[in-house]
């Protein structure tokens, strides 16, 4: 279920963890509200903040090392074949959406619908969303919801950390003295602000795509994807409405046979 922690991406993961705890340590060492509360024995907020930082690191390792839905053999795909009986096929009218099972040109395994081969991971991934260099792993069927949860916790930590850094700024009589006194906290604030903006945009885009039941790969490359390029610009065969899409993504576990969803959409038009 999990990959080797010392595999490819070890340096990226190490740098992420070191940067996280260095920034956290700086927020405690300088004269911020966090340090003042710690010195006066008001430990609730410092403990909660450190706990959230720890949770964000654990979620980072979870999504980074988790199997995103790798397709490792044709045998594992037997249960994910078209899933359409001859009787159901007779009910479906001929359409430009008619498909045949694809076989990956790289790993030579059959690809269930919505899967894609990742050149970085050298595997096909079910319900492929994208390959994230930040976590050095693909985001797919098995870890996508955990990736979104990680982004949400990370955003909370970043915004809170930026506020804490802001409270540590002190006044000075000259610009040079102010910069010398607050230079480190200023750098931390700018770093946290940039990361907050990036994570906010990522989280917002993922929530938007999830609400439509479409992946990043499908959204960016639908004109090249066999089962979508014949659809209209506003047509999505996997969309079941915003609430149903969100409920299915966050609350329903298990693999979905997307071929059945796709062809049921076709049969509904009869």
pLDDT tens for each residue of 198-240: 999 999 999 999 999 999 999 999 889 988 888 877 889 999 9
| 113 domain residue, yes or no | yes
Q: What are phi and psi of 219, to 5 degrees?
A: -65, -40
| 162 domain residue, yes or no | yes
DSSP secondary-structure letter at 207? Answer: H
- What range defines the domain where residue 221 resides? 10-267
| 2 domain residue, yes or no | no
- Closest CA relative to residue 66, chosen from 2, 133, 147: 2
Place of tokens 């894609």: 116
Residues identified as active-site: 132
Q: What is the predicted pLDDT for the residue at 18?
A: 95
Tell me how many domains the chain contains. Answer: 1
| 133 domain residue, yes or no | yes
Residues 6+ apart with CB under 8 A from 212: 236, 239, 242, 245
Q: What is the predicted pLDDT for the residue at 269?
A: 42
Q: Residue 66 pLDDT > 50, yes or no?
A: yes
Q: What is the predicted pLDDT for the residue at 242?
A: 95
Place of tokens 């919801």: 145
Percent of the chain with pLDDT over 70: 84
Inter-axis angle of helices 44-65 and 144-167, nearest 10: 150
pLDDT tens for each residue of 132-187: 999 999 999 999 999 999 999 999 999 999 999 999 888 878 888 888 888 999 99
Q: What is the predicted pLDDT for the residue at 230?
A: 84
Q: What is the predicted pLDDT for the residue at 106?
A: 84
Q: What is the pTM of this model?
A: 0.84
| 175 domain residue, yes or no | yes
| 188 domain residue, yes or no | yes
Which of the two residues, 190 and 87, has the higher pLDDT score?
190
Task: Band the pLDDT of 28: cuts 50, 70, 90.
Answer: very high
| 3 domain residue, yes or no | no
Q: Residue 4 pLDDT > 70, yes or no?
A: no
Q: Are 133 and 15 in contact (CB under 8 A)?
A: no
CA dihedral 167, 173, 176, 181 (to 10 degrees): -30
| 154 domain residue, yes or no | yes
Q: Residue 101 pLDDT > 80, yes or no?
A: no
Task: Band the pLDDT of 270: cuts 50, 70, 90.
Answer: very low
Residues 6+ apart with CB under 8 A from 8: 136
What average pLDDT does range 54-58 have in this prediction? 97
């Amino acid at each position: 279920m999990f990959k080797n922690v010392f595999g490819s991406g070890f340096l990226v993961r190490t740098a992420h963890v070191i940067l996280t705890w260095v920034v956290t340590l700086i927020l405690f060492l300088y004269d911020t509200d966090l340090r003042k509360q710690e010195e006066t024995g008001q430990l609730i907020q410092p403990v909660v903040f450190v706990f959230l930082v720890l949770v964000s690191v654990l979620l980072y390792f979870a999504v980074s090392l988790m199997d995103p839905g790798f397709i490792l053999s044709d045998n594992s795909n037997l249960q994910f074949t078209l899933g359409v009986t001859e009787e159901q096929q007779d009910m479906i009218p001929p359409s430009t959406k008619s498909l045949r099972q694809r076989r990956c040109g790289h790993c030579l395994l059959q690809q269930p619908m919505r899967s894609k081969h990742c050149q970085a991971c050298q595997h096909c991934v079910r319900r492929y969303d994208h390959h994230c260099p930040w976590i050095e792993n693909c985001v797919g069927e098995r870890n996508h919801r955990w990736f979104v949860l990680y982004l949400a916790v990370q955003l909370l930590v970043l915004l809170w950390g930026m506020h804490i850094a802001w409270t540590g700024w002190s006044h000075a009589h000259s610009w040079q003295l102010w910069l010398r006194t607050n230079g480190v906290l200023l750098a931390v604030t700018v770093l946290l602000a940039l990361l907050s903006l990036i994570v906010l945009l990522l989280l917002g885009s993922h929530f938007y795509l999830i609400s439509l039941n479409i992946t990043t790969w499908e959204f960016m490359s639908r004109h090249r994807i066999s089962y979508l390029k014949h659809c209209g610009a506003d047509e999505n065969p996997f969309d079941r409405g915003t609430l149903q899409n969100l409920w299915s993504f966050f609350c329903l576990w298990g693999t979905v046979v997307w071929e059945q969803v796709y062809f049921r959409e076709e049969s509904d038009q009869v």
